[in-house]
Amino acid sequence: MPNMASSKGITCTDFELTACQAAAFTPDEEVSSVKLIQSFLPKWAERFDGEPISLPASEILARETPRLILQNKRGDCRCHIASGRVDLFWQKKNAGKPDLTMGTFLNESANFLIDYREYLQARVSRLAAVVSRHAVHEAPGLVLSRYFCRPEITRGPLNRPESFEIHARKSYTLAGKFKINSWVRSKTGVEPGKEGRPVVLVEQDLNTLAEDAETMSFSETEIQSFFSAATLELDAILAVYYP
């Protein structure tokens, strides 16, 4: 079990992985669950060893609605495949040290998305990497408000907040070639598992720009490069916010 961060504050080393997501947008595709199960899934059957869930095709379903859901038997790993996008998820289920790293998840997800792109010969128009991390703290609302607000505010209206949230976005170029949005949200939360201890939760999202999606087509090399760069960037951002 991690030690509860002191009331003096928290640093990037106090955080543990809570959840990860990797996404690729495929705006021109119309997927077939049957074909994917028969021809694509066998290569990834070890990772997704649970029973797949297939939704019937329907004209009323949005293109972002999953047609096929893959999962593992442990219940911590899923993949949602829709015509317009594919998302891979990992979610921590119990308290204690997670059994994988963010880098491992994003690297394996990049390999999956590359295989998926090659199988469909799909155009990938956008990419995203999302990660949530938490640090156990006895008073997360108080520590966040004192960290981000002026002393006169924390002595007044924010003198004892039970919950707190702050959200910021920046746009810039990642690794010299990917134009991205970078979102960071710090808020109070509860640790996964039975104990439900209070935590500071940090959610980060790096995604390529929606306004470029109409003309963008990411190659296999670029998909791998994006998630490799995102792994380093997500850690670097956390260290800037919580040195």
The two tokens of residue 168 are: 């910021």
pLDDT digits (tens, 9 = 90+) for 15-42: 999 999 999 999 999 999 999 999 999 9
Nearest CA to 86 out of 29, 20, 19, 18 is that of 29
Residue 77 burial (CB count, 10 A) = 21
DSSP string covering 119-143:
HHT----EEEEEEEEEEEBS-HHHH
**With pLDDT > 70 as the criterion, what percentage of the chain qualifies?**
95
Q: How far apart are the first and last CA of the chain?
A: 22
Range with lowest mean pLDDT among 38-47, 69-78, 94-103, 162-171:
94-103
pLDDT digits (tens, 9 = 90+) for 178-209: 999 999 999 999 988 767 799 999 999 999 99
Between CA 14 and CA 176 the distance in angstroms is 30
What is the structure's pLDDT at 7?
A: 43
pLDDT digits (tens, 9 = 90+) for 122-179: 999 999 999 999 999 999 999 999 999 989 988 898 888 989 999 999 999 999 999 9
Alpha-carbon Rg for the chain in angstroms: 20
Decide if pLDDT at 6 tops 50.
no
- The predicted model gives 100-122 an average pLDDT of 97
Between CA 87 and CA 234 the distance in angstroms is 18
Decide if pLDDT at 59 tops 80.
no
In degrees and rounded to multiples of 5, residue 126 shows phi and psi of: -145, 155
What is the structure's pLDDT at 194?
A: 64
Decide if pLDDT at 53 tops 50.
yes
What is the structure's pLDDT at 5?
A: 46
Tokens 């040195």 correspond to 243
Decide if pLDDT at 8 tops 70.
no
Please, are residues 63 and 84 in contact by the beta-carbon 8 Å criterion? yes
